Copies of this chain bind each other. A is one copy, B any other.
């Protein structure tokens, strides 16, 4: 196990009907609030009105940035930062899923930043500057952004989708009410769950030895997702299923399953290029890429861990590692299919036209060629993309 820090100070308020606590939480930071949200689903399901009512009764001065995109644009971030500066905003309230929260994080930091928001994202060693306090109300179980310091922003001009992170961007408080995900449709529920699975898988397959706690915890959270996602798909207002997916999303990427380890994430590096070039749903891209990546990296060194995944997550009983590994990959693929996720690239409108360009960028924007679980060069990424063109059988 490697040395690590764990310092996740977000005040999580998990559960039903706790918005009456929102004024107390916000008042700690000030009265001028910027609400950041997305396409307006919160107006349809009543959440917007509930929040607006709490803020009105609390005497807040409210500003709004609506229309944050699913892969949030740096242009939107600039707009938000400008409001913060102009209106002397005290605190940002993000209401939405990972995209909204990610945008809000970079808005919070860009408000104080000398330079463009894209320059801030390009500070690849991480962002060390200050940020406005951020409070979130989560409406989608997926990215874990509600309990970590990360944000991913897309520059549509340069076709780049890049991550940034910094301690000041950690949400001060996050309201996690599973009821706010009852209206998430099947496709987004499945995509969000695939995103959670991917975070756990990326942390799990790692070269650092001796991380049983992290690994066995990740296996447990994976099993919780695999059990509860199908329930949520069938019964969208099953509270416990939604609650388990929501808490899984936060724990999958708050350091718990990744700390004490080294190495860079492979499937995310590849998927970020798919999203940057084709604007597809992040979780769907991950679900498509992951089984192909697993098959590509399966070798004598990795068979043991892939077999452990198959046995401990999917209950595979095969005793030969390589065979168990293949059965586990197949089970993951079948699980995603059962969640009605389109499992080939053409189904989401992607052909091989930009494979070589995307492969080049995936390597350039990450360190997967050096620090991947199995190092991946451009040819390897292209091969994984090619395997994603058609339906597969891995056994």
Contact = CB atoms under 8 A, between A and B. Distances in A.
Contacts of A244: 1, 210-213
A6 B224 CA distance: 19
Contact of A212 (B10, B18, B223): B223
A221 B213 contact: yes
Contact of A251 (B7, B210, B217, B221): B217
Contacts of A178: 1
A224 B220 contact: no
A318 to B, nearest CB: 15
Contacts of A12: 4-7
A248 interface: yes
Contact of A243 (B210, B216, B223): B210
A228 interface: yes
Contacts of A228: 212
Interface in A198-249: 209-221, 223-224, 227-228, 239-241, 243-244, 247-248
A212 B224 contact: yes
Contacts of A259: 14
Contacts of A57: none
A13 B2 CA distance: 11
Given A12-B6, A243-B1, A216 B210 contact: no
A129 interface: no
Contact of A220 (B16, B219, B241): B219
Contacts of A227: 212
A61 interface: no
Contacts of A59: none
Nearest to A4: B14
Contacts of A211: 240, 244
Nearest to A174: B6
A213 B193 CA distance: 14
Contacts of A342: none
A15 B4 contact: yes
A179 to B, nearest CB: 11
A49 interface: no
A3 interface: yes
B213 A217 contact: no
A203 B127 CA distance: 38
A11 interface: yes
A6 B223 CA distance: 22
Nearest to A8: B8
Interface in A1-37: 1-16, 18
Interface in A259-303: 259-260
B14 A6 contact: yes
Contacts of A241: 210
Contacts of A216: 219-221, 223-224
Contact of A3 (B7, B15, B217): B15
A12 B224 CA distance: 26
A257 to B, nearest CB: 10
A212 B228 CA distance: 9
User: Which of A1, A7, A218, A251 has the largest count of B CB atoms less than 10 A from its CB?
Assistant: A1
Interface of A: 1-16, 18, 178, 209-221, 223-224, 227-228, 239-241, 243-244, 247-248, 251, 256, 259-260
Closest 7 A/B residue pairs (Cβ)? A3-B15, A210-B240, A216-B220, A220-B220, A6-B12, A212-B224, A1-B243
Given A4-B14, A5-B11, A213-B244, 13 more contacts: A1-B247, A2-B15, A3-B15, A4-B12, A7-B10, A7-B11, A7-B12, A215-B220, A216-B219, A217-B217, A217-B251, A218-B220, A251-B256
